[in-house]
Amino acid sequence: MGHVTLLVLDTITGRSQKLAGAVGATMQFESLSITAKGCYARPPSMRADSAAWLEITDAHPDQKAFSGWLLAEEPAVASYDSSSYNVRLVACTR
């Protein structure tokens, strides 16, 4: 199945929290609902890296939903940044 670890930052208050959950489970952070739909981790013979397909919704009505891949070792390539939150993938294990 898989397991993801995320680091979520409230950019307004500066509060951050690590979230961990199984693929398919929904995790909560303040007004965010985050569901990992998929997980990929490179094999041990390659340089460590992982990716997770996340679906993120914000209960605030003016925020857009996100659906896409986040990369652990390349957060600048694919990340979730809104006016209030930043979500970063720390790891994905299978």
36 close to 28: Cβ distance less than 8 angstroms: no
Q: pLDDT tens digit string along 66-81? A: 999 999 988 778 778 8
Tell me the sheet residues that pair with 9: 16, 86
Q: Which amino acid is at 55?
A: E
Task: Give the count of domains, the chain.
Answer: 1
Of the listed ranges 10-19, 32-41, 73-82, the least confidently predicted one is 73-82
Residue with tokens 């997980």: 39
- Pick from 22, 44, 45: nearest CA to 34: 22
CA 5/CA 12 separation, integer angstroms: 22
pLDDT band at 63; cut points 50, 70, 90: confident
Q: Domain range spanning residue 64?
A: 3-93
Task: List, as one string, the DSSP characters of 42-67.
Answer: --TTS---EEEEEEEEESSTTPPPEE
